């Protein structure tokens, strides 16, 4: 599986050209994309400016000598490459397994071309087998948890080291065990309108290409134009 992830990440790096501002994703597959960009900066003199999606990716990029800037310093990003936890047949996805969904969506929004890199196990008919991460403010989180419980979402606070995980943005994550999400757009809109929810892991209609590494090779799937 690691070999497949590396193939996907390295393939995505081929879309990066000199002078680009690029979004650097978070997660086990995006890791290989960032590594390959670092190699190209060092060995080929590739001239890029990176915007990171988590503190983990920031540390990785800095260790590789990739020049970085803040999202606040730019108006648009040429290309962002990130992973995904699930991708359905309509090119909707669930992200946030690495607890970076808020920063990932902030970076994805001003991006001209958005690419996901995944291994073939991430392709699904319906989203929802992977628990849906919802980032919530700490104040009122217990009440919000009960709201999700009442709605039948089977919520659980994300844990780390025996305590509630706190994201880079100092929020909690509540994972929703939904099983099957029949209508990702409707659920996304409902969560968007829920007070206390900062962001959710449904990335609906955002991606342009999905690079899928499988045992039969690499596929590049293009989403239909919105």
Strand-pairing partners, residue 22, are 50, 79
- The answer to whether residue 199 is catalytic is no
Which of 96, 154, 94 is closest to 127 using CA atoms? 94
- Order across the sheet with 197-200: list the strands: 155-157, 172-176, 132-136, 197-200
User: Which of 35, 36, 86, 104 is the catalytic position?
Assistant: 104
Which of 41, 36, 113, 48 is closest to 78 using CA atoms? 113
* CA–CA gap between residue 159 and residue 92 (Å, rounded): 26
Sequence-distant (6+) residues with CB within 8 A of 34 are 9, 24, 25, 57, 60, 61, 64, 66
DSSP letter string, 152-170: T--EEE-EETTEE---TTS
* CA–CA gap between residue 23 and residue 83 (Å, rounded): 12
The catalytic residue positions are 104
């Amino acid at each position: 599986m690691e070999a497949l992830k590396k193939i996907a990440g390295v393939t995505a790096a081929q879309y990066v050209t000199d002078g680009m501002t690029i979004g650097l994703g978070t997660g086990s597959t995006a890791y290989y994309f960032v590594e390959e960009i670092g190699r190209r900066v060092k060995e080929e003199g590739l001239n890029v400016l990176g915007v990171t999606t988590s503190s983990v990716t920031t540390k990785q990029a800095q260790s590789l000598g990739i020049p970085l800037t803040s999202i606040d310093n730019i108006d648009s990003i040429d290309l962002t490459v990130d992973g995904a936890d699930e991708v359905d047949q309509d090119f909707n996805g669930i992200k946030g397994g690495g607890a970076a969904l808020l920063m990932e969506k902030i970076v994805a929004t001003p991006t001209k071309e958005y690419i996901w890199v995944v291994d073939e196990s991430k392709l699904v008919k319906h989203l929802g087998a992977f628990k849906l991460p919802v980032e919530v403010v700490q104040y009122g989180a217990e009440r919000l948890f009960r709201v999700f419980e009442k709605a039948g979402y089977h919520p659980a606070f994300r844990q780390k080291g025996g305590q509630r995980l706190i994201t880079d943005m100092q929020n909690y994550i509540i994972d929703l065990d939904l099983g099957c999400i029949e209508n990702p757009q409707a659920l996304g809109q409902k969560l968007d309108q829920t007070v206390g929810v900062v962001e959710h892991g449904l990335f609906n209609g955002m991606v342009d290409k999905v690079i899928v590494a499988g045992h039969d090779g690499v596929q590049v799937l293009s989403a239909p134009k919105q």
